[in-house]
Amino acid sequence: MIELKKKTAQAIFGLTGGVLSVDEIFSCLEYPPDSSMGDLALPCFRFAKTMRKNPAVIAKELADSLCLDEAESASAVAGYLNIKIKKEYWKSVVDRINSLGDDYGKNDSGAGKTVVIDYSSPNVAKPFHIGHLGTTVIGHTIKNLHEFSGYRCIGINHLGDWGTQFGKEIYAYRRWGSKEAVEKNGIDELVSIYVKFHEEAEKDPSLNDLAREEFRKLEQNDPENIALWKWFIDISIAEYKKTYELLGIKFDSYCGESFYTDKMQEQIDIMREKGLLELDDGASIVNLEKYGMPPCLILKRDGSTLYPTRDIAAAVYRKRTYDFDKCIYVTSSGQSLHFAQWFKVVELMGYDWYDRLVHIPYGTLSIGGEKLATRTGNVILLKDLFNTATEKCLEIINEKNPGLEDKKSVASAIGVGAVVFHYLLNSRIKDSDFSMEAALSFDGNTGPYAQYTYARCCSILEKAGACEAAADDKDTQLPFERDSEIALAKELARFPEVVIAALEEYEPCDITRYALDICTAFNKFYQECRIISDTGVNMARVRLVSAAKTVLGSALHIICMKTPSKI
């Protein structure tokens, strides 16, 4: 549709004598909500002043003189030019989708460019809870959108693998933990002794000093503490990977905060040379008052580094290693100030690429209206949420389709997909509340509904394959007869634009909602149109189903969903 819109804009440009540029006209072109008004519309109000004509007159003149091969007719209504596109065009879109397959919808706006995406990044030893759902699935969707647009993408899991929490974890492990328990229960055991530490430290604050001492030893490379710390990280990563696998996520790098330990001094020296560091009660800060922000903390009183210090060193390292065109960070909006502060420091340090750092914030997630607290152990783990959803799906499958092959992995694809889809239906910045019941419903605007539609496409294609031999030649020539066929093809034609818009706004919900639009159009078409009948197979419709399957599949994969062919 982009090409046709460009062509249309070009034709209108020729008729309006340069009042607006081709690009401006292109962006004015709309899809009328009701297709009886046409398939493309141009509001003519912006031409009125310069052309000194009333918009209705302009629309009429354009309708009379527009010359566009693909247009069946053009008309003027209330200052709008409405264009009806020929059926052949929609058929050609379907052919194009079928010939491009999974490449349909891709663009090359990122060709030759590199983007680094820092996302998920849980804190080792603390729970990987549902607050991380956002960064994980929004981050990966944004990575997929960049890949779809031709960028080289580097996904980095900036693990929180350094800091005083390791002193607590090491202390807690020696006091209450055991090798067997950690080997058996993995991360759950690490979290539970960490929680225990906090409970005990409430009663006896001197434990905090002991934990600090363990961290100090870790910093000084004490071999035993280093070995424990590495072990905790390995166990954690192995667990995270199980969750990532459910979402089809792979990272290119797991370089966490500890990786930058020896890379900060160089940056601190630069800050000092540039006169950016000020002492504040013994701590070193960069004063950002001029920029309306509180100071950025670089060194604590005891000389130890902080979260922003590591982020600055990491950004420089990434620039040198990957030479990125953009370096993106996906975190909750609670960290927006942190990013604004250290981005400013990078600018003040004189790095000319400071404006290529992008923070993408998202809102808070609650479950049944409850906010999630860390530390207290009163949290919902991401894997538990996925497990619950999967079990519920398995129950439904056992009830409705007990003979289904590979039930467990289908249940996991649908359960996990349901959670992700439900979450990504909201615009990212909004706070959202999660309801398992709503997420798992098969008839609402849900993941299961979208996956079910996909599976329906697969089963039609399978059947059609079996009947293809019976297909009548003349069926192949059938034009699109019904509005619902054209409506579906039109929906599919929008995909490349949806991808571009979602990438520009860093907005996964554009894709989620678009997947639903395809499902709605598909199901209407499926109700109205016979694809396979006793007399033969309507191949034009089979091709439409095949195109719908391709586009719906691509959209769902972009938002981290799997697409089983049978449900």
Contacts with ligand ARG, residue ranges (CB under 6 A) = 118, 121-123, 158, 160, 311, 329, 331
**Residues near 253 by beta carbon (within 8 Å), at least 6 away in sequence:** 154, 155, 156, 157
Taking the complex as a whole, how short is the minimal distance between the CB of residue 206 and ligand ARG, in angstroms? 28
CB closer to ligand ARG out of 259 and 421: 259
Helix, strand or coil for residue 76? strand
Q: How many CB atoms lie within 10 A of CB 175?
A: 13
Phi and psi, residue 16, nearest 5°: -110, 10
The answer to whether the CB of 278 falls within 8 A of the CB of 286 is yes
From the list 544, 549, 546, the residue with the least C-alpha distance to 529 is 544
Phi and psi, residue 158, nearest 5°: -85, 70
Q: Is 283 exposed, middle or buried (0-12, 13-18, 19+ CB in 10 A)?
A: middle
CB closer to ligand ARG out of 331 and 390: 331
Taking the complex as a whole, how short is the minimal distance between the CB of residue 496 and ligand ARG, in angstroms? 31
The answer to whether the CB of 128 falls within 8 A of the CB of 239 is yes
CB closer to ligand ARG out of 331 and 554: 331
Taking the complex as a whole, how short is the minimal distance between the CB of residue 312 and ligand ARG, in angstroms? 10
CB closer to ligand ARG out of 156 and 299: 156
CB closer to ligand ARG out of 121 and 563: 121
Taking the complex as a whole, how short is the minimal distance between the CB of residue 126 and ligand ARG, in angstroms? 8
Taking the complex as a whole, how short is the minimal distance between the CB of residue 532 and ligand ARG, in angstroms? 51
Taking the complex as a whole, how short is the minimal distance between the CB of residue 309 and ligand ARG, in angstroms? 11
Distance CA 90, CA 76 (A): 23
Given phi > 0 = left and psi -120 to 50 = alpha, else beta, which region is 523? alpha
CB closer to ligand ARG out of 90 and 322: 322
Taking the complex as a whole, how short is the minimal distance between the CB of residue 156 and ligand ARG, in angstroms? 8
CB closer to ligand ARG out of 215 and 522: 215
Half-sphere exposure of 459 (CA within 13 A, CB side): 10
Taking the complex as a whole, how short is the minimal distance between the CB of residue 129 and ligand ARG, in angstroms? 10
CB closer to ligand ARG out of 359 and 562: 359
CA-angle at 413, arms to 408 and 416, nearest 5°? 115
Phi and psi, residue 529, nearest 5°: -115, 130
